[in-house]
Structure 1
Amino acid sequence: MIKTAVILAAGMGKRIREKSGDMPKGFLAFDEKPMVQYSIEKLLNAGVTKILIGTGYKSESYEELKKQYPQIECVYNEKYETTGSMYTLYLLKNYIHEDFLLLESDLLYEKSALNILLTHKMQDVILASQFTNNGDEVFVEVSSTNSLVNMTKNKEELENIAAELVGITKLTYSTFQQLCIKVKGMLQKQQLMDYEAALVEIARQKEIYVEICQDLVWCEVDDEQHLKWAVDVIYPMIKAREHVPRMIERTILLNPGPATTTDTVKYAQVVSDICPREEEFGQILDWISNELTKLVADPNYYTSVLFGGSGTAAVEAIISSIVGNEKIIIINNGAYGERMCKIANVYELDYIEYKSPAIDRINLINLEQLIRHSDQKIAHLAVVHCETTTGMLNPIKEIGGLCKKYEINMIVDAMSSFAAIPIDMKEMNIGYLAASSNKNLQGMAGVSFIIAESQRLHKCKKIKPRSLYLHLYDQFEYFQRTQQMRFTPPVQTIYALKQAIIETKYEGISRRYDRYSKSWETLINGIEKLGLTHLVHKDHHSKIITSIIEPNYPNYDFYQMHDYFASKGFTIYPGKLDKLGTFRIANIGNITYKDMEQFIDLLDLYIKGLQGGEEYFKS
């Protein structure tokens, strides 16, 4: 069991001096506690009994910290201004007498990072992660057996980049001794050598394993951009993960929302009771509104208006609030386009239903002809981005171009695309966008929202209200004035949404869509091998939800199949096409391609059961 840890803390932290002030950067505080102190406490909780800190700039800060933690011993590098991290580590050679953990002082990380190294079967291990894209990264190249080949900040020096260095390493005493012998002469000429370069040198004569973690929350804080990322995303993520009291039984939801959520989102709902009219809660609502807007638009010009309700509430709020006596075109190529037509009917709006086949791409030439030859100026056009009926991804950028050409306001139902498929409202000429908390945001159901230009929302004031609860302008104006929703919001769902947004920011829209796409590809390859067919051509597919033609067996029954999968921890969804028997599989939420592989294996067994008869299936 490793009992010693070494923290390299001699650096001057020039790039973040304005924030760290007269302290080393390891003393940047989160919840009024220095980040190096979090590291020290995690090391002690992991069983470390001796912590050596290589100090330099403002070393007295660490000497003061030593009074609080007697396990600390500080070793001062008087040449800290002209030497690199390897020089500081070399100075510790007379203080290290056993295997140890090596850490940088400017790290925020979850405690599992230490557990991974402390329990690892390999002796010398570098901890690495997926790419953070935060800048100033050290990239790692590994061999076919995951042994260290090279690591550097310069990508061009690497043949294959496998991961990013975290800054926590496990080293045996013998490897450290070899390292010191190796660099002794080198340091005389290369005093600015970093410890990473020294590890690369020693890896040429001794194997150093690289453990690549795909789901490790961490960050380095080297500059103000790093600090903002740490404050806004990483620290809240770590805090949430490390306060999960127990794992919740996992159900894999393959329905198109609500989606499978993380335990941290679930537990975010467990908060002290609070009146939603308190200023503290209003600040949370304001933060959520701003962050939702940032995902698709510039919050200096656009804003998000929140409603308690399903996604349909947001769509209905738009259609009922912004359409006056003008004419609106509603594109209907699935159940959710049809739903918008029903909303228009209820409010007796003057609308044209543009019907398009459910599994074919919208014909833009015909759509333009409809616009041009309308007997009345078309003021609005409504379209579903990802039609959840089939998985069709409608070409909203091209439709937005048409709307711009004819000065039409475009309304987009983005329920199944928001927070997965990249959207730029200005570039795509989207006037109003509707989405909800419970699909790709991976939050809980119960909050819907509308994103639009603030200037555009102000113009809605002159349209006579058709609804009290769903009146968009009143909701917008009241929130701008009070940071509150007009009627009681779903408080716990709001807290879950805040956590879900933090996790969305951490993963990033493009990486989330990559994860979804990999699950979708696994699904498509799997069903094709089983002889099943999906409806929408791959070129026009959203890679979010897939409509699959039902198996052609006399003993097939969707609800029996549903119950079979439910007994295995999976939820599947019925189709929505009247003339064709289908079922739907979504690949959104907190799932991976591994879950989809398991689903395909179960589907294979189920189909074999249909082929073999009831007795085979029961076996």
Structure 2
Amino acid sequence: MVKTAIILAAGLGSRLKERTIDKPKGFVEVGGIPIVERSVQRLIDNGIERIVIGTGYLAEFYERLATRYPQILCIPNDRYRDSGSMRTLYGLREAVDENFLLLESDLLYDPLCLGNLIADPREDIVLASGTTHSEDEVYIETDEYGMLRAVSKRPEELRSIDAELVGISKISKETYRMMCEAAEREMRDQPKWDYEYALVAVSAHKPIPVKKIEKLAWCEIDTEEHLERAAAEIYPRIAGESGKGPFSIQRNVLLNPGPATTTDTVKQAQVVPDICPREREFGDLMEWIAEQLTLFVAPKKDYETVLFGGSGTAAVESVISSVVGDGKLLIISNGAYGERMAEIAEVYRVDHEVLASSPVLPVSPDAIEAAIRQSEGKITHAAVVHNETTSGVLNDIEAIAEICVRYNVQLIVDAMSSYGAIPIDMAAHDISYVVASSNKNLQGMAGIGFVVANRERLTKLRTHTPKSYYLDLYKQYEYLKRTHQLRFTPPVQTLYALEQAIVETQIEGIEQRYRRYSESWAVLIEGIERLGLECLVPTEYHSRIITAIKEPDLPGYDFERMHDFLYERGITIYPGKIGKIASFRIANIGAIDKTDIERFLQVLSEYFTSLK
């Protein structure tokens, strides 16, 4: 785990003119805080224990900052006036002998990206974004594998413009050594050589991954125009500024299985100028959202995402009513949401059979194979819930997909409670359709259901006779591709919130989000055992996202009263949904962490104490 950061802060900042006559540009304020101090605070928040600042112009400002933050060590570059950023970085080599985060001092950025870089298992990463139109871009060219190939401020010098350099990287000890060796060669003739060119030099000998987050909220502050953009556009958007943006919102902890607790930035993303959803600008937004939702689980060259205004159930209904045609559907059910798929099939008179199994255990792949084999080729499609929301049981979709491939059966996965947290690879397992929604692990607002579909199988649906008007999967897909619009009026503000939620998911990363959820789950399991409660599902089968808990046998206990006791204290829980078993569910998803679970357990303990 990276525990050290380097901040390059030697520059004159002359393009900010009067603002940097009496202070370094790192001390220009946005939101009432010097931009470099905000970086220091965010680094410490993310577990960084040592911050080495390469100083130069008005170095005494950083020395004074170090008196307030004991994590800071300042090392001056005495040649800052006639040298580049690599000279400053080179001068720190005797003080840094470990992997580190590298930041420029004049950045305002979404702090979630720091945790993402730290958690990423790769030792070297260059953080990049899409186009910013800042007029001071450092463009990046990558190879076909997303590795750094070249950088330049002059786009004509690159074979392709694949991203823009943000100014935040994770650098391994070995890469730093190689950068310093390259600097010793190059700085003799190019004293103003910058660190990004040293990274390119190293990339000729070892791969340097570029992590691109298309719509990352960030800016470098080199000019007055940059500062205006930082204050007006970037500062209100950056996550982690709850209560400091345009407005403050009361935070409730939702432990129900969706909608989930959202960040203020997702909520605020809904406050946009009025726009007709038939405008090209809004069509571009929907196409971007659809593409990013695809990329979370599949390559865009073979898969497409179809958006619907509606709940996740609307998207499930679209698939079941649209894709089976004259075939037969095997519904694999071990909970209420498997049963719901069967009810949908009944309504649409889709030929189907139900393979029902225990609601507290994963479905058996052997039983699935037996059912498909016994159908003697009649079963053409199978549908399963990945993470059964009623119980938190995680079904093995990889094993199920392998069986479906063997028998030429198209697999439909209801990933409502797993998409965005548990990694899914549709291409690797030949999954035909994955269905999810905007308001669970994506941490967006409720109102968007979507289907990620294999394009070849999706386009073959054009010959199917529609069973639904609004939920016709192929027509919804074809219309967006042809007209750049949805067929019917979409929930405009919800889509803007989903855009922000996607960006925050990209910053955190699905694997890291699942680790965060899993940490909360571990605290939950320990706590409910300590309180004498019992899980319905054996822990080895838990998804670590939703947990079904048996109601306690205590005098005076009542679920509704317990719910109200928690609700009055800003915590929402949800009743159970497994037959006649008295239970309640806790979902540790959304913009919460283990401290929220600890607080829930404390309040729950207080409720139980009140019964005595």
TM-score by length of 2: 0.70
Residue 469 of structure 1 is matched in structure 2 by: 470
**CA separation in 2, counterparts of 1:270 and 1:221?**
42
Residue 309 of structure 2 is matched in structure 1 by: 308
Question: Residue 233 in 1 paired to residue 216 in 2?
Answer: yes
Residue pair 1:328, 1:378 contacting (<8 A) in 2 also: yes
**CA separation in 2, counterparts of 1:397 and 1:370?**
17
For residue 29 of structure 2, give the secondary structure of its aligned residue in structure 1: helix
Residue 153 of structure 1 is matched in structure 2 by: 172
The alpha carbon displacement at 1:8 in A equals 2.6
**CA separation in 1, counterparts of 2:444 and 2:526?**
29
Aligned amino acid, residue 42 of structure 1:
E
Distance 1:48 1:448, change over 3 A: closer
**CA separation in 1, counterparts of 2:86 and 2:299?**
43
* Count of paired positions: 474
Aligned amino acid, residue 173 of structure 2:
N
Residue 447 of structure 2 is matched in structure 1 by: 446
Greater displacement, 463-472 / 547-556? 547-556
Aligned amino acid, residue 304 of structure 1:
T
Deviation string 1:355-383 (CA, Å, 9 cap, x unpaired) is: 01101221222221111111552100000
Question: Residue 278 in 1 paired to residue 286 in 2?
Answer: no
Aligned amino acid, residue 240 of structure 1:
R
Distance 1:87 1:604, change over 3 A: closer
Distance 1:46 1:566, change over 3 A: closer
For residue 260 of structure 1, give the secondary structure of its aligned residue in structure 2: coil
The alpha carbon displacement at 1:523 in A equals 0.6
1:371-450 to structure 2, matched below 5 A, reads 371-450=372-451
The alpha carbon displacement at 1:290 in A equals 0.5
Residue 148 of structure 1 is matched in structure 2 by: none
Residue pair 2:392, 2:548 contacting (<8 A) in 1 also: yes
Residue 107 of structure 2 is matched in structure 1 by: 108
Distance 1:44 1:238, change over 3 A: closer
Residue 7 of structure 1 is matched in structure 2 by: 9
Distance 1:238 1:421, change over 3 A: farther
1:23-172 to structure 2, matched below 5 A, reads 41-42=28-29, 46=33, 77-78=81-82, 83-85=87-89, 105=104, 108-110=107-109, 130-131=118-119, 136=124, 153-154=172-173
**CA separation in 2, counterparts of 1:320 and 1:444?**
26
The alpha carbon displacement at 1:7 in A equals 2.6
Residue pair 2:26, 2:34 contacting (<8 A) in 1 also: no
Residue pair 2:125, 2:209 contacting (<8 A) in 1 also: no
1:154-553 to structure 2, matched below 5 A, reads 154=173, 229=212, 232-235=215-218, 240-241=237-238, 244-553=245-554
Residue pair 1:221, 1:230 contacting (<8 A) in 2 also: no
Distance 1:377 1:564, change over 3 A: same
**CA separation in 2, counterparts of 1:551 and 1:271?**
46
Residue 160 of structure 1 is matched in structure 2 by: none
Distance 1:535 1:403, change over 3 A: same
Aligned amino acid, residue 492 of structure 1:
Q
Distance 1:410 1:152, change over 3 A: closer
**CA separation in 2, counterparts of 1:221 and 1:448?**
45
Which structure has the larger Rg?
1
The alpha carbon displacement at 1:229 in A equals 3.0
The alpha carbon displacement at 1:453 in A equals 1.6
For residue 233 of structure 1, give the secondary structure of its aligned residue in structure 2: coil
**CA separation in 2, counterparts of 1:490 and 1:220?**
45
**CA separation in 1, counterparts of 2:184 and 2:334?**
72
For residue 297 of structure 1, give the secondary structure of its aligned residue in structure 2: coil
Aligned amino acid, residue 477 of structure 1:
E
The alpha carbon displacement at 1:233 in A equals 2.0
Structure 1: which 5+ residue stretches go unaligned? Answer: 11-23, 28-36, 56-73, 91-102, 114-126, 139-150, 158-186, 193-218, 613-619
The alpha carbon displacement at 1:129 in A equals 8.4
Residue pair 1:234, 1:506 contacting (<8 A) in 2 also: no
Distance 1:518 1:237, change over 3 A: farther
Residue pair 2:86, 2:198 contacting (<8 A) in 1 also: no
**CA separation in 2, counterparts of 1:550 and 1:6?**
56
Deviation string 1:490-548 (CA, Å, 9 cap, x unpaired) is: 00000000000000000000110000001111111100111110011122110111110
The alpha carbon displacement at 1:483 in A equals 1.9
For residue 240 of structure 1, give the secondary structure of its aligned residue in structure 2: coil
Aligned amino acid, residue 9 of structure 2:
I
**CA separation in 2, counterparts of 1:432 and 1:293?**
11
Residue 586 of structure 2 is matched in structure 1 by: 585
The alpha carbon displacement at 1:75 in A equals 6.8
For residue 450 of structure 1, give the secondary structure of its aligned residue in structure 2: strand
Residue pair 1:397, 1:429 contacting (<8 A) in 2 also: no
Deviation string 1:366-421 (CA, Å, 9 cap, x unpaired) is: 22111111155210000000000000001100000000000000000000000000
Residue pair 2:535, 2:547 contacting (<8 A) in 1 also: yes
**CA separation in 2, counterparts of 1:40 and 1:563?**
48
Aligned amino acid, residue 539 of structure 1:
E
For residue 358 of structure 1, give the secondary structure of its aligned residue in structure 2: coil
The alpha carbon displacement at 1:579 in A equals 2.0
The alpha carbon displacement at 1:221 in A equals 12
Deviation string 1:28-58 (CA, Å, 9 cap, x unpaired) is: xxxxxxxxx9856437954799x98669xxx
Question: Residue 597 in 1 paired to residue 594 in 2?
Answer: no
Residue 96 of structure 1 is matched in structure 2 by: none
Distance 1:510 1:462, change over 3 A: same
**CA separation in 1, counterparts of 2:491 and 2:354?**
34
**CA separation in 2, counterparts of 1:82 and 1:360?**
57
Aligned amino acid, residue 233 of structure 1:
L
Deviation string 1:214-261 (CA, Å, 9 cap, x unpaired) is: xxxxx9997798887365324287651268223211100000000000
Residue pair 1:419, 1:504 contacting (<8 A) in 2 also: yes
The alpha carbon displacement at 1:601 in A equals 0.9
Structure 2: which 5+ residue stretches go unaligned? Answer: 1-6, 16-23, 37-53, 59-77, 95-101, 127-169, 177-182, 189-195, 219-232
Deviation string 1:172-192 (CA, Å, 9 cap, x unpaired) is: xxxxxxxxxxxxxxx999x99
TM-score by length of 1: 0.69
**CA separation in 2, counterparts of 1:558 and 1:107?**
53
Residue pair 2:334, 2:362 contacting (<8 A) in 1 also: no
Residue pair 2:236, 2:245 contacting (<8 A) in 1 also: no
**CA separation in 1, counterparts of 2:236 and 2:375?**
57
Deviation string 1:443-485 (CA, Å, 9 cap, x unpaired) is: 0000010001211111001110011100000000001112211
Percent identity between the two aligned chains: 46
For residue 411 of structure 2, give the secondary structure of its aligned residue in structure 1: strand
Residue pair 1:108, 1:220 contacting (<8 A) in 2 also: no
For residue 331 of structure 1, give the secondary structure of its aligned residue in structure 2: strand
Calculate the aligned-residue CA RMSD, in Å.
4.0
**CA separation in 2, counterparts of 1:602 and 1:269?**
32
Residue pair 1:42, 1:111 contacting (<8 A) in 2 also: no
**CA separation in 2, counterparts of 1:291 and 1:110?**
21
Residue pair 1:432, 1:450 contacting (<8 A) in 2 also: yes
**CA separation in 2, counterparts of 1:353 and 1:131?**
42
Residue pair 1:54, 1:88 contacting (<8 A) in 2 also: no
Distance 1:77 1:133, change over 3 A: farther
